[in-house]
Amino acid sequence: MAEQLLQAALLGIVEGLTEFIPVSSTGHLILVIEILGFAGPPGRVFEVAIQLGAILAVCLIYFGRLWRVTMGLGGGDPRAWRFVLAILLGFLPAAVLGVLLHGFIKAVLFHPTVVCVALILGGIAILVIERFLSHPRYHEIERFPASLALKIGLFQSIAMIPGVSRSGATILGALLMGVDRRTAAEFSFFLAIPTMLGATVLDLYKNWEHLNTDDALLIGVGFVTAFLAAAVVVRTLVDFVGRYGFAPFGWYRIALGSLMLAFLYL
């Protein structure tokens, strides 16, 4: 059990470090689990549930902004309502498709080869989009048209393929739609809250009868380490991409996907 707890802590750190950067946290977890031989809770519950630790980091770091939005809703602030509408519309496609395709995704797509190919293709996409990025038109989430938020949400739903990256698909979709880098990264943070909460609730509901006390302990350890690692990333990512863009993540994805394919098949 001690070895499993150490593995759970390591996987939590991996989740926290990768959830909000465009490299696919789910893809990393699948690959690391394959390497470690981690035997955790059934139905991939562990990989999804510990993402709540990363989401909690966003909620705490952006608590002030989220609180102002909440108060603004009660006071009829139109900017607060536009913010919430953008998040809800961005969340909608993943919510619908997640419920419809949940079984297929878990049974067929959660495979290391799928992850490696998606990492490489996603890395190439990042480099191409960064190279030909047009001048941004949107600099505030509160000014997103409803159609823009919905289109970004459609991009996010592509991340149901492990290795694509939820944050990566969301950010790249936003960049293509004319959102500046910093705002694209922040929108990805906020959009993660309902998306990952919904995914976790669905997974726990479908696997609840198979879970036991040991599973809860493993999830708890992964949750805490994911929270701590994500807090570091969330505090630094916006400034990093504002200075260097997303190209470093593209090169990283290509290198990791290629190395893991070699590891799996050579």
Cα(102)–Cα(106) distance, rounded to whole angstroms?
6
Please report, for the chain, the start and end positions of each structural domain, with discontinuous segments joined by +: 2-265
Cα(34)–Cα(19) distance, rounded to whole angstroms?
19
Q: Mark out the alpha helices in 133-246 (DSSP H runs).
A: 146-157, 166-176, 181-207, 213-244
Which is nearest to 98 in space by CA: 54, 161, 43?
161
Residues facing 138 on adjacent strands: 179
Cα(69)–Cα(52) distance, rounded to whole angstroms?
21
Which is nearest to 27 in space by CA: 122, 110, 123?
110
Contacts of 108 (CB under 8 A, 6+ apart): none
| CB-CB contact of 226 with 50 (8 Å) | yes
Residue-level pLDDT, tens digit, the chain, 266 residues: 788 889 999 999 999 999 888 998 878 888 888 888 887 665 567 877 788 898 899 999 999 999 999 999 988 899 999 999 999 999 999 888 877 776 677 666 778 888 899 999 999 999 998 888 878 899 999 999 999 999 999 998 888 888 888 888 999 999 999 999 889 989 999 998 888 887 777 777 777 776 667 778 888 999 999 999 999 998 898 888 878 888 999 999 999 999 989 988 87
DSSP state of 159: G
DSSP state of 164: S
